[in-house]
Amino acid sequence: MTSINILLADLDTDTLFVEQARRLGLVTLGDILEARVEVLSKKKDFSYTWYADLLTLLKKHGLLGEFQNRQL
């Protein structure tokens, strides 16, 4: 599992994904874990394509289960 304090920009991630995350107020993996999908989905810069990429990123870093548990 990856540290949650890592900046998204420091990960091997698409720069457009990182920029969209920043516009949503998400800068670190910890920010993502603390975020609520119901709140994010109401923001102007949210898209389900970006969200699918987010889930892939979390899975790659061993954080998908933690994210899902926090959404309950």
pLDDT digits 0-9 by tens, 22-54:
999 999 999 999 999 999 999 999 999 999 999
Q: Which domain holds residue 32?
A: 8-71
Tracing tokens 């900046």 back to the chain, one arrives at 7
Degrees, nearest 5: CA angle 26-61-41: 35
- Look at the chain and report how many structural domains it folds into: 1
Q: Is 59 a domain residue?
A: yes
Rounded to the nearest 5°, which phi and psi values hold at 44?
Answer: -55, -40
The answer to whether residue 12 is domain-embedded is: yes
Residue 1 in domain: no
Per-residue tokens: 33 = 């874990």
Structure pTM?
0.90
Task: With beta carbons less than 8 A apart as the criterion, state whether 61 and 1 touch.
Answer: yes
| pLDDT of amino acid 8 | 96
